[in-house]
Amino acid sequence: MPMTVTEKILAFHCGKKEVAPGELINAKVDVVLANDITAPISIKEFRKAGAKKVFDKTRIVLVPDHFTPNKDIQSAEQSKLLREFAKEHGLTNYFEVGRMGIEHALLPEQGLAVSGDVIVGADSHTCTYGGLGAFATGVGSTDVAAAMITGEIWFKVPESIKFVYYGKLRKWVSGKDLILHTIGDIGVDGALYKAMEFTGEVIDRMDMSGRLTMANMAIEAGGKNGIIAPDDTTREYESGRAKRRPKFYKSDKKAIYAAVREYDCSRLEPQVACPHLPENTKGVSELSHINIHQSVVGSCTNGRIEDLRIAAKVLKGRKVHPDVRMIIIPATQAIYKQAMKEGLFNIFIDAQAAVSTPTCGPCLGGHMGILAKGERSIATTNRNFVGRMGHPESEVYLANPAIAAASAVLGRIGSPEELK
């Protein structure tokens, strides 16, 4: 039976030759992930179940990144719980402050997520690793506890939707714009419990950073996972990095899809998702009347070195508007170090932007950039729900790093093409 890339990965991990959408399976997992918000619940459930050890101390990854460096006593206690659990069970992949990063940027960088994996994480944006050609999805903290004990988890095999992108991207248009446009087209529940398979000539030419960004936001369309079949770009990225041997899968030509959607990207301008849903997308040229108070470049969606380089290109020789606070958050320590080496920090600081240590921070309204009542932020993050970045009466606009940087200079939503 012809299968999609998602179906092939799941079939292998449940020991079957083939699986079909709707089938319930029990799959072995390659990586189990949790952070400082979700892991404490998992640890409590782990202990409540009477478990004495994890299934594999090399396959559990704990990353304190949401409220870290600890912003208050409660977050300090949560991080302490992770630290003690990791020590108790001899976990080889516990990433302390100073050695950590935002989890979904850290795992690909460290080679802990590789092509062909099944990865579950107690965080909805675990779907990021689909950019590598892995089946990766967010699950509840209780499911993570069960996976930490058994090394297995059950799934209903999802149907797949194929998204085909063709044409040539215009300047300043990126993977972030493609996924925002797609979510705007199908809605926040348009791919509910479905695999979003991204294909086409535009994807073939896209670097790994853009692919990870697109897979990251599959959940914002309700997707069970986002996935891109691995290719030479994937192989080059994983070479010398992958901690396990990657497995490359691709969909069969006669694989069955619930739907196929095609997009001509050649006429697409940079996209902005307006409050209060990622589906509320408009072209940047439609929003030049929207003033902002804050601009954030970072998060697991757009905090990689490629994103920082784009922001620096726009900011070089310019100043952030006097009415705007700009916060730049490298996603990992390695990215931080690389940005410093390339002189990007000089550009950011000369532009009067603030540079933070790696943290999820403002993305979830944690810290490092909380909005007050009536304030607006443009951000390279992934969600703009009511109160997501602070006060319930604040607003968040989602965009790519070029638009976030240009808007910081203009004091309103705008494009680098508007800068003199």
Query: How much is the pLDDT for 141?
Result: 93
Tell me: the pLDDT tens digits for 110-123?
A: 999 999 999 999 99
Q: Is 394 strand, coil or helix?
A: coil
Contact 152, 118 (CB under 8 A): no
Tell me: the pLDDT tens digits for 120-149?
A: 999 999 999 999 999 999 999 999 999 999
Integer angstrom CA distances of residue 370 from 192, 251, 356, 396, 410: 30, 43, 14, 11, 21
DSSP 261: E
Which residues are CB-contacts of 362 (< 8 A; sequence separation ≥ 6)? 296, 327, 329, 368, 369, 370, 371, 377, 379, 381, 389, 390
Percentage, residues of the chain above pLDDT 70 = 100
Query: How much is the pLDDT for 212?
Result: 98
Contact 52, 60 (CB under 8 A): no
Query: How much is the pLDDT for 196?
Result: 98
Closest to 395 measured CA to CA, from 277, 269, 218 = 277
Query: How much is the pLDDT for 100?
Result: 86
Percentage, residues of the chain above pLDDT 90 = 97
Which domains does the chain show, CATH number per domain? 5-262 (3.30.499.10), 272-418 (3.30.499.10)
Whole-prediction pTM value?
Answer: 0.95
Q: Spell out, as residue ranges, where the chain has pLDDT lower than 70.
A: none
* 143/137 Cα distance (integer angstroms): 12
Can you tell me which residue has the tokens 């954030």? 296
Other CB atoms within 10 Å distance of the CB of residue 254: 8
